[in-house]
């Protein structure tokens, strides 16, 4: 652990992954002060360079080292960004020396590990911070977007029920899935057949109502994650959440259609004011030139969770309908907000 007043020593594990690249870019964009940056990866990925490009005046990401041989006592803050197996093998050992922020699904269901969206429930870390090191889990990107927009409304009127359909970009399944969409699109425009390998069926020009595997009841793993993670982040274990997760042929940007009912009356103007004032949210006014958020427009500006088409539900008194878009890969601002003096 670095001495008081010293800049943190940082490691990024899984630097060749989409999220690893995004974390490096976010650290640079925020001018996140640090004394040293270690880039680490699995042995099989060491020859794969990060997907960032060296621009004018922009430092090049240092070559990655093998995470298996790294001494985590040499750092204060570690981001686990790659495959879940890396976190499974190394995250708890790293957390004995440093603050570890894991973006995989490995630890999200563990009740002894904080599940945090910094702009919603960062206060849940108060007790853990006393130790000077530890493990923090991040929800899935769709859960982050959902919890972020529901939190200010829940604080105003108390959520009674949420129905949500998510339309998730292929980048949620990694680089191979993005390559698949690009390859299938070119093939089909050339009169050839789609391979359908990444998702078990064609994704180009298609919509697949399944994200991750289905259980015996027909519920997908992603749908179960959505309601479990959102309840936990909001501190609302009994909240009724009904979810359908859909994969769409979009490279970046998850979209969510949300229908929310409340325990207390919530006027449309009050809901709009609560969303507009909340951290991490950009409410798009229906009278603006933007009209509403889309992945094509907002995934290139991944600073916020974007909310649009806010309106009253005509079938239920006091209920609201709205549309949300958030960049699922590059919208990592909440990851880099765990800053001094809280943690190191």
| Predicted pLDDT at 302 | 65
> Is the domain of 94 the same as that of 39?
yes
CA dist 96 and 245 (Å) reads 36
3 state SS of 142: helix
> Is the domain of 238 the same as that of 107?
no
pTM of the predicted structure, to 2 decimals: 0.90
| Predicted pLDDT at 286 | 73
| Predicted pLDDT at 56 | 47
Count of domains for the chain: 2
CA distance readout (Å), 23 to 14, 26, 172, 323: 10, 5, 15, 26
| Predicted pLDDT at 311 | 95
Q: Are 254 and 328 in contact (CB under 8 A)?
A: yes
Q: Kind of pairing, strands 320-326 and 305-312?
A: antiparallel
> Is the domain of 72 the same as that of 120?
yes
Q: Kind of pairing, strands 65-66 and 36-41?
A: parallel
CA dist 53 and 58 (Å) reads 9
In a domain, 3, yes or no: no
| Predicted pLDDT at 340 | 45
In a domain, 343, yes or no: no
> Is the domain of 161 the same as that of 128?
no
> Is the domain of 228 the same as that of 317?
yes
In a domain, 232, yes or no: yes
Widest distance between CA atoms in the chain: 63
CA distance readout (Å), 215 to 65, 151, 224: 38, 29, 10
CATH number at residue 197: 3.30.360.10
In a domain, 121, yes or no: yes
Series of mean pLDDT values for 10-residue runs along the chain (344 residues):
72 91 86 89 69 52 84 94 91 94 93 91 74 86 96 97 97 91 94 88 95 96 97 96 98 96 94 95 79 84 86 93 91 54 48
Helix and strand numbers (H, E) in the chain are: 9, 12
CATH number at residue 37: 3.40.50.720
In a domain, 344, yes or no: no
CA distance readout (Å), 287 to 153, 248, 258, 292, 293: 22, 28, 21, 10, 13
Within 8 A by CB and 6+ apart from 271, the residues are 153, 156, 310, 320
- Structural domain span for residue 208: 142-326
**Among candidate residues 222, 244, 239, 261, the one with its CA nearest the CA of residue 165:** 244
| Predicted pLDDT at 208 | 96
| Predicted pLDDT at 229 | 97
> Is the domain of 217 the same as that of 109?
no
* Residue burial 324-341, b: 16+ Cβ < 10 Å; e: rest: bbbbbbbbbbbbbbbeee
> Is the domain of 193 the same as that of 221?
yes
Helix then strand then coil, in percent of the chain rounded to 5, is 35, 20, 45
First vs last C-alpha separation in the chain: 8
CA dist 72 and 75 (Å) reads 6
> Is the domain of 236 the same as that of 125?
no
> Is the domain of 322 the same as that of 175?
yes
In a domain, 281, yes or no: yes
**Among candidate residues 149, 141, 330, 156, the one with its CA nearest the CA of residue 257:** 149
In a domain, 153, yes or no: yes
| Predicted pLDDT at 33 | 86
In a domain, 342, yes or no: no
> Is the domain of 253 the same as that of 279?
yes
Partners of 80 in beta bridges: 13, 102
> Is the domain of 305 the same as that of 218?
yes
> Is the domain of 134 the same as that of 149?
no
């Amino acid at each position: 652990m670095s001495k008081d007043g010293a800049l943190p020593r940082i490691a990024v594990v899984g630097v060749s992954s989409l999220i690893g690249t995004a974390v490096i870019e976010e650290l640079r964009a925020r001018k996140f002060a640090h004394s040293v940056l270690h880039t680490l990866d699995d042995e099989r990925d060491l020859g794969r360079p990060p997907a960032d490009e060296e621009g004018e005046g922009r430092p090049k990401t240092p070559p990655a080292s093998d995470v298996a041989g790294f001494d985590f006592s040499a750092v204060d803050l570690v981001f686990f960004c790659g495959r879940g197996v890396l976190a499974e093998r190394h995250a708890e050992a790293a957390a004995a020396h440093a603050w570890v922020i894991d973006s995989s699904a490995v630890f999200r269901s563990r009740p002894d590990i904080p599940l945090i969206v910094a702009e919603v429930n960062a206060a849940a870390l108060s007790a853990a911070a006393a130790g000077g090191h530890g493990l923090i889990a991040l929800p899935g990107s769709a859960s982050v977007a959902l919890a972020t927009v529901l939190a200010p409304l829940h604080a105003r009127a108390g959520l009674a029920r949420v129905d949500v359909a998510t339309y998730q970009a292929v980048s949620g399944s990694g680089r191979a899935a993005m390559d698949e969409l690009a390859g299938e699109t070119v093939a089909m425009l050339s009169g050839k057949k789609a391979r359908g390998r990444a998702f078990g069926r064609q994704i180009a020009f298609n919509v697949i109502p399944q994200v991750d595997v289905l259980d015996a009841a027909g519920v997908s793993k992603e749908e179960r994650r959505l309601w479990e993670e959102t309840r936990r982040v909001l501190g609302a274990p009994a909240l009724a959440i009904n979810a359908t997760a859909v994969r769409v042929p979009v490279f970046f940007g998850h979209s969510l259609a949300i229908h929310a009912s409340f325990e207390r009356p919530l006027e449309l103007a009050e809901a709009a004011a609560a969303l507009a004032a909340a951290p991490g949210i950009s409410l798009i006014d229906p009278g603006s030139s933007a009209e509403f958020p889309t992945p094509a427009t907002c995934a290139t500006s991944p600073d916020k969770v974007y909310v649009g088409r806010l309106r009253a539900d005509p079938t239920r008194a006091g209920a609201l309908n709205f549309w949300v878009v958030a960049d699922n890969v590059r919208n990592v601002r909440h990851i880099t907000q765990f800053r001094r003096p809280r943690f190191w």
